Structure 1
Amino acid sequence: MSNIQKKTDVILIGAGVMSATLGSLLKELVPEWEITVFEKLANAGEESSNEWNNAGTGHAALCELNYTNEKEDGSIDISKAIKINEQFQLSRQYWSYLVKNNLISNPQDFIKPIPHMSLVQGDENVSFLKKRFEALSNNPLFQGMEFSDAPEKLKEWIPLIMEGRTSDEAIAATKIDSGTDVNFGALTRMLFEHLESKNVEINYKHTVKDIKRTSDGSWELKVHNIDSGNIEYHTAKFVFIGGGGGSLPLLQKTGIPESKHVGGFPVSGLFLVCNNPEVVEQHHAKVYGKAKVGAPPMSVPHLDTRYIDNKKSLLFGPFAGFSPKFLKTGSNFDLIGSVKPNNVMTMLAAGVKEMALTKYLIQQVMLSNEKRIDELREFIPNAKSEDWDIVVAGQRVQVIKDTEAGKGTLQFGTEVIHAKDGSIAALLGASPGASTAVHVMLEVLEKCFPQYMKEWEPKIMEMIPSYGVSLMDNPEFFEEIHTSTAKVLGLVEKELAYN
């Protein structure tokens, strides 16, 4: 067995949407750099980025209630919603740039317009939703949002959800037509095709076994070629670990100080998917409800119109579950293997703190199919169990770390961890993840290549015109960008057709 040794400028681990975004950004900024990608599966976008493994929501905080918290004085804090919306606008601009410059084509294969809605029941929740609507609808980023608590209006918006509803409990919804459904699997595959055409070397069925620092400060990767069985050694000045749930164990292998006192807690998900085309046709929106008490934010129940393989689908979920694997294709020893002397206290502290979450996950794991259908009936009163099948969604690994909030704090977000010298970075965490991939990868560039940012800025501004600008404070600029990206991505005519 021969040991192959190769040198390159940049190594990307994992062929998901994050590596695809970073690789394509770098190819525009420094076309001469050599980039090598390693992916343990046979194709791009097969794990967390796959269209069946995530909600496909273009997360812009249009419908997700957990991004707007009620403060003690009763007012609504919309700062997080604004932040996430602005981050999604960066993705829209970058995708538009790629389409406009013929680097990817047929945007309708990965993004479609779909109304985003929030739906709540009960007087208290209705009052919260109304306050949220009032706080958001004055903001330029959330223009066009409507609120209704009139059953007749709701029947127009969501006939499937309103049909057969016997409860006289208060019910209300907000609706905004500028939402999107994004097929991140399709987008990832398009980006990797583009990278291949730019001579990026993509190695499928290659597993990274170890990462070590060399004497000149580069990183050497020990890589196992699954097909040939050979071990290869690849070195690069910069490494990005974008392996979804598989990133934490690889980050731990680097031994960088920033990798200490960080743990991961895996949460799996299930969706119900509708197999009856007549039912699918009666719903056209992504409708997000409110998380149950003790439930993690990413387990908010939602009924989604999705386009998968250009076919309209209807999914409901997610039901949380527990598996010790960090990836769907991972090992049952992933969780226990990630516990190290430097993070054991962090992990234990999280265990004590998150009793409600643990209890919630145990309850979810124990749910029978009939119980899941009962939960679905809170959304669709007339749902028939024979119309719905179970799909296992992707694994998410929530980051656990010591923060100002205390030891072993569970983080619900996407986080970049990088070495002080910027030579290696890893992406950890879950939602809003893929929707904000462009923002997150710009953060990687800023943290890891500060010396080039001044030189790169004009090109970044060409690709992403609102880079470094607050859209909320520049409503005319936002309007201009939103209109132009909608046009390029084909989100305009269709919006008119639905109204």
Structure 2
Amino acid sequence: MSSSETKTDVILIGAGIMSATLGTLLKELVPEWEITVYEKLANAGEESSNEWNNAGTGHSALCELNYTVEKPDGSLDISKAIKINEQFQLSRQFWSYLVNRNLIRNPRDFIMPIPHMSLVQGEQDVTFLKKRFKALSDNPLFQGMEFSDDHEKLIEWIPLIMEGRTLNEPIAATKIDSGTDVNFGALTRMLFDHLESKNVEINYNHSVEDIKRTDDGSWELKVWNMATGNIERHTAKFVFIGGGGGSLHLLQKTGIPESKHIGGFPVSGIFMVCNDPDVVGQHHAKVYGKAKVGAPPMSVPHLDTRYIDNKKSLLFGPFAGFSPKFLKTGSNMDLITSVKPNNVLTMLAAGAKQMPLTKYLIQQVMLSKEQRMEELREFIPNAKSEDWDLVVAGQRVQVIKDTEAGGKGTLQFGTEVITAADGSIAALLGASPGASTAVHVMLEIIKKCFPEHIEEWESKIKEMIPSHGVSLMENPELLHEIHTSTAQTLGLSEKELIFS
């Protein structure tokens, strides 16, 4: 077993959508910087970014009910919905910039227009949805949203869901045509093809085994070349850890103070998929329901039209599962080995707090296919078991940390960025909305890690993302301009041009 050593400016760990986005941004900002990527698997976008390992929703809070929270006084807090919608607008702008400059092509290969809908049943939830519709539809970001509790209108919108339904309780939905289905696997591969053309060195079948600080402040990576069996050592001034569920272990190896008192809890996802053209042809939307009482936010049920390899299918889920692995291709020892002296109390506190989640996961794991079909029939009353198959989706590691609001061992449902105080290393942890907000998240990393360059980079960032630093909600004219231009560039339908 031999060893070699190289030096570079930037190292990206993991060939997913996050590394692809950060690498592409940096190559536009500083083309002369040398960037090297290390990926354990044989291709880009094979774990969390893979099209079968996520729901493919362009998360912009158009339909996700958990992004609008009802406050004790009965009013709605829509601040999270606004934030996520604005963040997705940044992604649309950056993708449009890349398409306009022929840096990536054929946007229809990774993004398609799909109506986003919310669906609820029961008087209480219908009242909630009405309040949500009123709060959002008054906001320019959600212009074009419709509400209906009329059965005939709902049959027009969602015939597959309404067919055979016993209408013994109120039912209502909102619909907005500006939603999208995004193939993050295809987009990831496009971005890495582009980076390769810009002389970015991409090393597949390379597993990062250790990270340590050098005397000059750089970072040295111990990398196992799985093809040759050799151990290689590579150093860089800046390292981004974008290894999905594998990021926590690598962050812990850095030893930075910011990595302390953080743990992770893995949750796997299972979807049901239908490829029968007769069934698929009756539904054209992403329809999100409301999570059952006691269920975690990531369990919000939804029936999605998906486009994968230009083929239309339906997905329903997710059903939660449990595996101690932090990646689909990970080890059964991942959870145990993530427990360290500095986070054991945090993990134990989380365990004590999350007994309902544990019970929920056990119940989900024990479900038979027919029991899952019964849950699907709450969406599609006439669903037939023979039309649907189970697909195991990706692993998501939910972040556990100590917070002021939640105390020790608080489970975080979202995307977390951890950076060293000097900005020399950053890691991405967590789950949804994840990929949809990749551009926003990577811009935040750039600001934190390269503050000395921000002033000189500002004009280029504005060229790539015209609304950078501006609230679109407070600038409806700019919102109109951007929404229309990105819809045209990305090849979205005429219905998408709701601001005209």
Q: How does 1:219-368 map to 2 (within 5 A)?
A: 219-368=219-368
Q: Kindly indicate whether the alpha-carbon contact (under 8 Å) linking 2:280 and 2:313 is maintained by their aligned counterparts in 1.
A: yes
The Cα shift of 1:366 comes to 0.7
Residues of 2 paired with 1:433 and 1:490: CA distance? 23
Counterpart of 1:480 in structure 2 is 481
Counterpart of 2:149 in structure 1 is 149
Deviates more, 1:191-200 or 1:66-75: 66-75
User: Which SS does the other structure have where 1:471 is aligned?
Assistant: coil
User: Which SS does the other structure have where 1:482 is aligned?
Assistant: helix
Q: Which runs of 5+ in 1 are unaligned?
A: none
User: Which SS does the other structure have where 2:453 is aligned?
Assistant: helix
Residues of 1 paired with 2:99 and 2:392: CA distance? 32
The Cα shift of 1:492 comes to 3.2
Counterpart of 2:73 in structure 1 is 73
AA paired with 2:450?
F
Residues of 2 paired with 1:33 and 1:294: CA distance? 49
Counterpart of 2:116 in structure 1 is 116
Counterpart of 1:466 in structure 2 is 467
Residues of 1 paired with 2:459 and 2:375: CA distance? 51
Q: Kindly indicate whether the alpha-carbon contact (under 8 Å) linking 2:177 and 2:495 is maintained by their aligned counterparts in 1.
A: no
Counterpart of 1:419 in structure 2 is 420
User: Which SS does the other structure have where 1:450 is aligned?
Assistant: coil
Residues of 1 paired with 2:293 and 2:426: CA distance? 35
AA paired with 2:487?
A
Counterpart of 1:172 in structure 2 is 172
Residues of 1 paired with 2:401 and 2:470: CA distance? 31
* Residue deviations 1:67-120 (CA, integer Å, cap 9, x gap): 000111111111100000000000000000000011000000000000000000
* Residue deviations 1:177-217 (CA, integer Å, cap 9, x gap): 00000000000000000000000000000000000100101
User: Which SS does the other structure have where 1:395 is aligned?
Assistant: strand
AA paired with 2:196?
E
Counterpart of 1:217 in structure 2 is 217
Deviates more, 1:349-358 or 1:248-257: 349-358
User: Which SS does the other structure have where 1:108 is aligned?
Assistant: helix
> What is the aligned-residue RMSD (CA, Å)?
1.0
Residues of 1 paired with 2:311 and 2:496: CA distance? 18
Counterpart of 1:94 in structure 2 is 94
Q: Scaled by the length of structure 2, what TM-score is found?
A: 0.99
Q: Scaled by the length of structure 1, what TM-score is found?
A: 0.99
AA paired with 2:346?
T
Residues of 2 paired with 1:4 and 1:250: CA distance? 21
The Cα shift of 1:355 comes to 1.3
* Residue deviations 1:365-420 (CA, integer Å, cap 9, x gap): 11111100000000000000000000000000000000102000011110110100
Seq. identity, %: 84
The Cα shift of 1:295 comes to 1.4
Q: How does 1:378-417 map to 2 (within 5 A)?
A: 378-404=378-404, 405-417=406-418
Please state if 1:432 is matched with 2:433: yes
Please state if 1:132 is matched with 2:132: yes
User: Which SS does the other structure have where 1:434 is aligned?
Assistant: helix
Q: How many residues align?
A: 497
Q: Kindly indicate whether the alpha-carbon contact (under 8 Å) linking 2:487 and 2:496 is maintained by their aligned counterparts in 1.
A: no
User: Which SS does the other structure have where 2:394 is aligned?
Assistant: coil
* Residue deviations 1:211-266 (CA, integer Å, cap 9, x gap): 01001010000000001000000000000000000000000000000000000000
The Cα shift of 1:494 comes to 6.7
AA paired with 1:193?
D
User: Which SS does the other structure have where 1:103 is aligned?
Assistant: coil
Please state if 1:53 is matched with 2:53: yes
Q: Which runs of 5+ in 2 are unaligned?
A: none
Residues of 2 paired with 1:457 and 1:275: CA distance? 46
AA paired with 1:198?
K
User: Which SS does the other structure have where 1:394 is aligned?
Assistant: strand
The Cα shift of 1:495 comes to 4.8
Residues of 2 paired with 1:167 and 1:333: CA distance? 49
The Cα shift of 1:32 comes to 0.3
Residues of 2 paired with 1:255 and 1:29: CA distance? 30
* Residue deviations 1:259-282 (CA, integer Å, cap 9, x gap): 000000000000000031100000
AA paired with 2:442?
M
Structure 1 consecutive aligned stretches of length 4 or more whose deviation exceeds 4 Å = none
Residues of 1 paired with 2:227 and 2:22: CA distance? 27
User: Which SS does the other structure have where 1:97 is aligned?
Assistant: helix
User: Which SS does the other structure have where 2:57 is aligned?
Assistant: coil
User: Which SS does the other structure have where 1:398 is aligned?
Assistant: strand
Q: Kindly indicate whether the alpha-carbon contact (under 8 Å) linking 2:67 and 2:78 is maintained by their aligned counterparts in 1.
A: yes
Counterpart of 1:38 in structure 2 is 38
